[in-house]
Amino acid sequence: MKRLNRIDTRLEIIRAATKMFLEDGFDSTSAARIASSIGISTGNLTFHFPKKEHLLVEAVEELCDFQWKIMKQNIGEGESALMAYCLEITAIASCCEKNEKAKSFYSAAYSHPMTLAIIQKNDTKKAKEVFGQYHPDWNEKKFENMENIVSGIEFTALFTPGERTPLNERLDYALNAILLLYEIPAGVRESIINKVLSSDYASIGKRIFSEFTEYANRVNDEALENAIERNREKQITN
């Protein structure tokens, strides 16, 4: 889409940065490269977003809701949200192991305080939905504290090199550790983990990242197009 003018530089930056983070990897994307792609100076970019991490925030906020929605769509009819919760971890871990661009993106999201806070906030909301039936007396702070611990377990599951610990093995450890923290009964825990690890979670992980890339590009394109249209209408009115 050709940029007509500099109506909303901020939206242009978000659009270009998100596309590069997802398609080229967070580590390979510099502020100078983002700025150059839309014809502005690096100083102009850093005026709006002082660090790359501020741009990563925009992408991670879009990712969290999208990812959970897709996960719930991928469980079988009659399956619980607990199944979706465990499947999400396994699918993303597999995606990170097989796709270096995805690994770069997720690793950055879990490594920077601003984006980790977004993940933990969203995961707290999700945990209340998934585990609330087991712990109806837990308050918001209890779930929040638990998810602070869980994010560390997830990080290990997602980014431990496969040559050190095979993927299926570390996923088994991670899921057991998380469900034990939430005091899920042994029978339920064993059943869910067996189902998840015997599923085609690798294909789901690959598809989720691909679909999110398409979704984020489309949403950001539409946001910029709408801004351009609003500016046109404003100019006509004036």
Q: Is residue 231 pLDDT above 80, yes or no?
A: no
Residue type, 217: N
75-79, 160-164, 191-195: least confidently modelled range: 75-79
CA distances from 136 to 125, 127, 141, 143, 152 (A): 14, 12, 13, 11, 25
Mean pLDDT of the chain: 89
Q: HEC profile for the chain?
A: CCCCCCCCHHHHHHHHHHHHHHHHCCCCCCHHHHHHHCCCCHHHHHHHCCCHHHHHHHHHHHHHHHHHHHHHHCCCCCCCHHHHHHHHHHHHHHHHHHCHHHHHHHHHHHHCHHHHHHHHHHHHHHHHHHHCCCCCCCCHHHHHHHHHHHHHHHHHHHHCCCCCCCHHHHHHHHHHHHHHHCCCCHHHHHHHHHHHHCCCHHHHHHHHHHHHHHHHHHHHHHHHHHHHHHHHHHHHHC
Mean pLDDT along residues 20-25: 94
Q: Locate tokens 């469900």: which residue?
A: 179
pLDDT in tens, 33-71: 999 999 999 999 999 999 999 999 989 998 988 998 888
Looking from the CA of 232 toward its CB, the CA atoms found within 13 Å total 7
Question: What pLDDT, on the 0 to 100 scale, is given for residue 232?
Answer: 75
pLDDT in tens, 81-129: 999 999 999 999 999 999 999 999 999 999 999 999 999 999 999 999 9
Question: What pLDDT, on the 0 to 100 scale, is given for residue 74?
Answer: 79
34 touches 56 (CB < 8 A):
no
Question: What pLDDT, on the 0 to 100 scale, is given for residue 3?
Answer: 45
Q: Is residue 2 pLDDT above 70, yes or no?
A: no
